[in-house]
């Protein structure tokens, strides 16, 4: 008998394996401050319905549920959602967990706010995949799930950082293609569970591109800030930082 085919994407496999260790990462240690920051941006009525896309182990979902919001957490990784479910039970909060690829997500337009933080699926593409079509699909699906004027907070990787790091020798080695802005290489990541070799295939976007895509997807982008985890503030982007923050509303 042949063994069942593993249809998981590379990122699904990565996060399934990483899930038990994810919250040991330094960048996950600012959840309460991040939720304070989000709730300080726009008024969100108590009890509102909030959508967390690429919710991971549910750290923001759980903190929002703790504060009385009705939360739905969506993620592609069964491993991450298993951790999220366990932690929500420990915290005594009720959250709707949905295992779905955010590029295929179809929800009724019933949510009063949404977050997609620490990438939450943005840019996490497969080899050869069209990064713009991928991220735009996620943005559109989030916009479709929101009521008019609903706040949406997103943090995603900063394209400037890649441009500033790449050198002609990276281009010569095939690691970076300036014609497409695609990076394609193997990297060893030092993770809490030990070193892992990750095949990186990514096309990051610079903020004006992201703003164009968000607008195309049905958002008004009110502000763009530096958004690296642990350094959230209403401040300009630093060119070499890891993440950028987009403060939006459904148009
Ligand atoms: C770096 S984690 C961020 C998790 C969480 N938002 C946080 O701030 O801790 C990225 C998450 O996005 C999920 N993800 C990646 N691609 C996705 C997709 N296409 N649809 C839904 N979730 C996805 C991963 O499984 C992972 O849990």
**What pLDDT is recorded for position 8?**
85
Ligand 1 pocket test: which of 119, 135, 242 has the largest number of ligand atoms within 8 Å of its C-beta?
119
Mean pLDDT of 5-23: 90
Task: Indicate the pLDDT class of residue 45, thresholds 50, 70 and 90.
Answer: very high
Atom of ligand 1 nearest to the CA of 28: 9
Query: How far is 144 from 130, CA to CA, in rounded Å?
Result: 21
CA of 57 to the centre of ligand 1 (A): 9
Q: 55 in ligand 1 pocket by Cβ < 6 Å?
A: yes
Closest Cα to residue 76, out of 96, 50, 104, 95?
104
The response to whether residue 56 sits with its C-beta less than 6 Å from ligand 1 reads yes
Confidence of residue 2 (pLDDT cuts 50, 70, 90): low
| 61 CA to centre of ligand 1 in angstroms | 13
Whether residue 75 has its Cβ less than 6 Å from ligand 1: yes
Q: Quick check: CB of 152 below 6 Å from ligand 1?
A: no
Secondary structure in 3-state letters for the chain: CCCCCCCCCHHHHHHHHHHHHHHHCHHHCCHHHHHHHHHHHCCCCCCCEEEEECCCCCHHHHHHHHCCCEEEEEECCHHHHHHHHHHHHHHCCCCEEEECCHHHCCCCCCECEEEECCCCCCCCCCCCCCHHHHHHHHHHHHHHCECCCCEEEEEEECHHHHHHHCCHHHHHCCCEECCCCEEEEEEEEEECCEEEEEEEEEECCCHHHHHHHHHHHCEEEEEEEECCCCCCCCCCCCCCCCEEEEEEEEC
Q: 82-133, pLDDT tens digit by residue? A: 999 999 999 999 999 999 999 999 999 899 999 999 999 999 999 999 999 9
Q: How far apart are CA 161 and CA 186, in angstroms?
A: 18
Task: Give me the pLDDT at residue 1, please.
Answer: 58
- Regarding predicted confidence, which is higher, 148 or 10? 148
Mean pLDDT, the chain, rounded, equals 96
């Amino acid at each position: 008998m042949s063994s069942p085919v593993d249809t998981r994407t590379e990122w699904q496999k990565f996060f399934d394996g990483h899930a038990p260790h994810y919250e040991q990462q330094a960048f996950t240690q600012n959840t309460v401050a991040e939720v304070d920051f989000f709730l300080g941006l726009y008024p969100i009525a108590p009890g509102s319905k909030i959508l967390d896309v690429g919710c991971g182990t549910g750290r923001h979902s759980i903190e929002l549920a703790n504060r009385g919001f009705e939360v739905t957490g969506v993620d592609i990784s069964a491993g991450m959602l298993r951790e999220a479910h366990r932690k929500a039970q420990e915290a005594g909060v009720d959250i709707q967990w949905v295992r779905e690829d955010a590029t295929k997500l179809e929800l009724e337009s019933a949510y009063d706010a949404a977050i997609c933080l620490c990438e939450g699926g943005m840019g996490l593409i497969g080899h050869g995949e069209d990064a713009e079509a991928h991220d735009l699909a996620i943005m559109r699906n989030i916009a479709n799930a929101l009521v008019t004027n609903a706040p949406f907070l997103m943090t995603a990787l900063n394209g400037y950082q890649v441009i500033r790091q790449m050198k002609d020798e990276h281009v010569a080695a095939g690691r970076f293609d300036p014609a497409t802005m695609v990076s394609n290489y193997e990297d060893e990541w030092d993770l809490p569970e030990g070193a892992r070799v990750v095949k990186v295939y990514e096309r990051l976007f610079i903020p004006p591109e992201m703003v164009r895509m968000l607008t195309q997807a049905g958002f008004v982008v009110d502000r763009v800030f530096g958004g690296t985890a642990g350094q959230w503030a209403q401040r300009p982007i630093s060119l070499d930082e890891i993440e950028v923050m987009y403060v939006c509303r459904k148009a």
